Amino acid sequence: MSFDVTRSDMRRIDKHAQGDNGEYAERLVAAHYGVEHAPDEASWYDCVNRDTGTKFEVKAAQTIIDGRDESSFVPVEGRFRLWKSQTRSLVNSDAQNTAWFVFVLLDRDGSPLEMRRMRPSTVWSLVQEEGGWYDSGHEKGEQKKMSFFYIFGSVENADY
């Protein structure tokens, strides 16, 4: 996947994100699609096209993450965390074709590998196919953690 982002934009994105993969992905999507990064505007989207009102919810995952064993690195397959309430808001907004999920897959070092844009209704259907929503134990309510393989399939140059 080629990202339509200049090198200077990538340096600026790196500087602002300061190691936060979620913010890095949000800024990458904003630059790629030419939209505004507006993460504090609402809880259900991260970027917005001011001309059309289209909302973009960005989800980031790494191919491999640390399973948090205190004594050593435990490689675990990365997942995208989806929230039911957020997805419902995006589905409602998309009734006027004004919402997208954008999934950004990062390698184990945090560099972008792939990006995929999907309609919220498609994401809702994928969650249902994969067993539906479940209690997260967080205030945000129900969630679904979805493997990046389910969104992208196999990925070239990914070190699993």
Band of residue 44 on the pLDDT scale cut at 50, 70, 90: very high
pLDDT tens digits, 102-144: 999 998 888 899 999 999 999 999 999 999 999 888 888 999 9
The model's confidence at residue 87, banded by pLDDT at 50, 70 and 90, is very high
Does the residue 33 lie in any domain? yes
List CB contacts of 28: < 8 A, sequence separation 6 or more: 3, 5, 13, 104, 112, 115
Residue 86 to residue 72: CA distance in whole angstroms: 34
CATH at residue 91: 3.40.210
Model confidence, pTM: 0.85
* Structural domains counted in the chain: 1
124, with CB counted inside 10 A (0-12, 13-18, 19+), is buried
Q: Is 44 helix (H, G, I), strand (E, B) or coil?
A: coil
Q: Is residue 158 part of a domain?
A: no
Answer yes or no: is 28 within a domain: yes
- 47 is in which domain, residue-wise? 7-152
Whole-number Å distance between alpha carbons of 29 and 51: 17
pLDDT at residue 76 in the model:
74
The tokens for 59 are 């989800």
Tokens 């989800």 belong to 59
* Residue 2 within a domain: no
- Asked if the structure places residue 113 within a domain, the reply is yes
- Give the angle subtended at the CA of 49 by the CAs of 146 and 17, to the nearest 5°: 60
Q: Is residue 67 part of a domain?
A: yes
Instruction: Give the pLDDT band of residue 160 (cuts 50, 70, 90).
Output: very low
Residues with Cβ within 8 Å of residue 141, at least 6 apart in sequence: 83, 84, 85, 135
Domain membership of residue 157 (yes or no) is no
- Does residue 159 lie within any of the structural domains? no
